[in-house]
Chain A
Amino acid sequence: MVYGDAQAMLLHMIEKRIVMSQPHTDVAKQVRAIVDDFGGDPDYMLQILREVQERLNWISPAAIDALEIALNTPRTKIEAVAGFYAFLHTTPCGTYRVLFSDNISDQMLGNMSLLERMLAKLGVERGKTALDGLVSIDTTSCTGMCDQGPAMLVNNRAITHLTPARIDAICELIREQTPLAAWPAQFFQVDDNIRRPGILLNHHFAPGEALAAALALGRDGMLAQIKLANLRGCGGAGFQTGLKWELCRNAPGSAHYVVCNADEGEPGTFKDRVLLNAHADQVFEGMTLCAYVIGARRGFLYLRGEYRHLLDALNATLERRRAMGLLGKAILGAQGFDFDIEIHLGAGAYICGEESALIESLEGKRGTPRNRPPFPVTQGYLGQPTVVNNVETLAKACLIARHGGAWHAAIGTAQSAGTKLLSISGDCARPGIYEYPFGIEINDILADCGAVDVQAVQIGGAAGVCIAPDEFARKIAFEDIPTAGSVMVFDRSRDMFEVARNFTHFFAHESCGFCTPCRVGTSLLAATMDKLKEGKGSPYDFDEIKQLNQHLLLLSHCGLGHSACNPVLETIAKFPLAYESRIMHSHYVPAFDLDGALATARRLTQRDDSAAHLEADHE
């Protein structure tokens, strides 16, 4: 696209406006203060940039100048990180940054018409900053509010239950430049929606109870109970938790680390948000248990940026636990048992849920998955042995400390002990959190959440599997359908092609860009799905999709690329009709739209008459 003079001037005006309100020296001073808060440590690069973004509203060239000096780090490294995360901006953006969650569950609840409504009301183009620099409006990947959508983020604060009336009210608040803190509190209300509690969600946890039990058992005894419990990772992969802790404990290193992975980015999952809201003590205590077993002194909670609203309460919980002697030096009086936890916030990057990318991000870098092996248990954070566990896994470790491994192992199925939290959304009467023993049938889940006339269930998020009605007797368990717990329900009114197309765009947006097949392949896949949607599909494109899927599966560097093809492969196999209706042409039709290419010229000349269009497409 031609970079118009008007646009350049506009950008200049916005920059001037912002620069004028933030004189250079003032920016340098503020940046310096932020860097000092983080001890001047470049390992905190992402946290520092996030803070600069939050306080100065963008990461301006002046801010980067100041960071370069304060951190003694080349600007290539600073810009490399700033450019990677979706919530960091190196060009001026609106004082109010509105991002509509664009998961398929939000789309099904009408997020797009609300987005259009807001654009029209405020006279803004999607993805562009308004003339006066007041607001920018765009979409973002699933924000984890699927049970109370459509949802949005305004300056990284979650707003749920969007309706046309709520949108109108938000437009008014923005126009009046009301500070976010003065917006109605109910806009920001996030419900837990716990519909079916089980052993984990029903447990009335007394802070310190699991640690006291662990100290009584001793380090080896505690580890033995975790192993006996047959606890497996709840983030999706299902690795044996006891074995992970043992491998890490036994790995030589100058320090050991515990990381709680709360980068809950898989579309349709939100159970970790609920655990961190309602059971944060138990999650932190699970981390402390792990620290006790592996001999760690530092731990990190990596919280996705979309859950910024939880940060203050979580920090308060940490503070309270320190005061109670449950964190810090000599925990519960045990000499040498020193451990503390800090919270790192993500900034809009799904890939950071992958454990090695998460560790890169913790080290203040771009969230690029590492070459593995070595695995984090031997070389993780700062190259030292590190356990990375999901929020739910760590919370469950507390139950095991309390009730013993045998108790836990007896629940569920042979290979899948205990319970699983499911995040249920989509076409059902009662979306929310459901806790079931492993082995539960899809049929039973659907009955419980009030889903009728179901066409399909997407389990495990965009990267998961799509289940058709003839498979509803299948079970949630590592023996059958393993999952981190995302369950999205689609009734017969839904177009499964559109579901898959949404997911392909998700993966293209979230690809880290490191490896060729995923960087280019996910974009090609999304573009081909768009071509089918536009009615330009032919059998050739169908074959092309299958080939792209093979390239992604065979060549990609990490799980994102491997699973980017899942939604398409699954829906092609199970809902072929949704695709066949898209194969409109028997012969190849180019995706390139000659008339569409004239759109820029039409806009510049403000013409839209018939002479400004090419004749209608001819076959």
Chain B
Amino acid sequence: MSEHSFTLDGKHVAFQPGQTIIQAAMEAGDYLPYLCYHPDLKPHGSCKVCSVKIGNHVMASCTTLAQDGLVVESDIELIQQERLALIQMLFVEGNHFCPSCEKSGNCQLQATAYDMKMMSPRYPQFFPNRPLDASHTDFLLDTNRCILCSLRVRASRDIDGKNVFGLSGRGIHTHLIVNAPSGKLGDTDFSATDKAAQVCPVGAILPKRQGFKVPIGRRIYDIKPISQYSVKERNKT
């Protein structure tokens, strides 16, 4: 047992120096929602869904180091409202057709929205024109669903050592690119064994010939809400 601890919604959470708030909380079995975080990759802090209240500040728990005596609030109305707004923003920014999406039921964005009891996307849709890329033998790349978490970018760069993916553009025009002059995934060295094939929290990259192997209704987040899974189980999807 570590002698270091902070409180999360009044409960003591032990941590090792160097751990971030989300790392310590998850090790203790507490749930904080997130989309751009992955336990195997360096924290990034871009989606902001894991934001918590510390004192008068709202901070991303994935990039904030745990400190002795910190009072961290997560399960409060302000934070719930702010997180919900982020999820709603992500839904209108891309084109998310849950009913026809193969990822439905295994999707962290959808599951997080359900868990937060999101009833509508609230904001006007952006309806961006985003390409679909079926050029790869084993994978379908559908950037309509991309939430720009950069997990695949980081996994390919930092774990696979390949740089298959990147983010280009700026602001609302930020978009995913792949490492080929043609811009097609089929012309890259991306493969099923890549870490980058396993980290997408949404349905932006789908293995081919697997469609509906597990029927809707029996998928991971159909069974129980995302908040009730351990971090390990969540990142299997």
Contact = CB atoms under 8 A, between A and B. Distances in A.
A521 B85 CA distance: 9
Interface in A502-557: 508-517, 519-524, 527, 547, 550-551, 554-555, 557
Given A512-B171, A555-B48, A592-B124, A76 B164 contact: yes
A557 B46 contact: yes
B177 A80 contact: yes
Interface string A19-47: 00000000000000000000000000000
Given A83-B169, A371-B63, A519 B148 contact: yes
B1 to A, nearest CB: 28
Interface residues of B, number: 42
Given A521-B89, A555-B86, A515 B171 contact: no
Contact of B129 (A1, A371, A509): A1
Contacts of A349: 170
Contacts of B47: 515-516
Interface in A63-88: 64-65, 74-77, 79-80, 82-86
B178 interface: yes
Contacts of B129: 1
Given A519-B148, A551-B85, A511 B172 contact: yes
Tell me which of A76, A509, A511 has the highest count of chain B C-beta atoms within 10 A of its own C-beta: A76
Nearest to A553: B58
Contact of B45 (A61, A76, A82, A557): A557
A440 interface: no
Interface string B34-66: 000000000101111101000000101001000
B104 interface: no
Contacts of A84: 168-170
A514 B153 CA distance: 13
Contacts of B60: 557
Interface string A585-601: 00000111000000000
A599 to B, nearest CB: 15
Contacts of B51: 554-555
Interface in A549-601: 550-551, 554-555, 557, 590-592
Nearest to A75: B179
B97 interface: no
B170 to A, nearest CB: 5
B212 interface: no
B178 to A, nearest CB: 7
Tell me which of A64, A371, A554, A591 has the highest count of chain B C-beta atoms within 10 A of its own C-beta: A554
B148 A76 contact: no
Given A516-B89, A517-B48, A79 B172 contact: no
A554 B55 CA distance: 12
B178 A76 contact: yes
A425 B90 CA distance: 39
Interface string A256-288: 000000000000000000000000000000000
Nearest to B173: A513
A72 to B, nearest CB: 12
A547 to B, nearest CB: 7
A554 B45 contact: no
B92 interface: yes
A79 B58 contact: no
Nearest to B177: A79
B102 interface: no
A157 B89 CA distance: 38
B46 A515 contact: yes
B65 to A, nearest CB: 9
Tell me which of B49, B123, B163, B170 has the highest count of chain A C-beta atoms within 10 A of its own C-beta: B170
B207 interface: no
A583 B77 CA distance: 29
B181 interface: yes
Contacts of B165: 76
A523 B126 contact: yes
Nearest to B47: A516
A513 B170 contact: yes
Contacts of A523: 126, 171-172
B86 A516 contact: yes
A508 B163 contact: no
Contacts of B70: none
A200 B58 CA distance: 41
B82 interface: yes
Nearest to B83: A555
B48 A515 contact: yes
B194 to A, nearest CB: 14
Contact of B163 (A65, A76, A511): A76
Contact of B170 (A64, A83, A555, A591): A83
Given A74-B179, A76-B165, A524-B89, A555 B171 contact: no
Contacts of A79: 166, 168, 177
Given A508-B172, A516-B47, A555-B51, A76 B179 contact: yes
B124 A591 contact: yes
Interface in B141-195: 147-148, 153, 163-174, 177-181
B93 interface: yes
Interface string B116-131: 0000000110100100
A555 B58 contact: yes
A524 B168 CA distance: 21
B45 A371 contact: yes
Given A509-B171, A555-B48, 18 more contacts: A64-B181, A76-B178, A76-B179, A80-B166, A83-B170, A83-B177, A84-B169, A511-B172, A515-B45, A516-B89, A516-B147, A519-B93, A519-B172, A520-B90, A523-B171, A524-B89, A557-B45, A591-B124
26 contacts: A65-B181, A74-B179, A76-B177, A80-B177, A83-B177, A84-B168, A366-B170, A510-B171, A511-B170, A511-B171, A511-B172, A513-B167, A513-B174, A514-B46, A516-B46, A516-B47, A516-B89, A519-B148, A519-B174, A522-B171, A524-B89, A524-B123, A551-B82, A555-B51, A557-B48, A591-B124
Closest 9 CB pairs of A and B: A76-B166, A83-B168, A513-B174, A520-B89, A74-B163, A511-B171, A80-B166, A554-B58, A523-B172
Interface of B: 43, 45-49, 51, 58, 60, 63, 78, 82, 85-86, 89-90, 92-93, 123-124, 126, 129, 147-148, 153, 163-174, 177-181
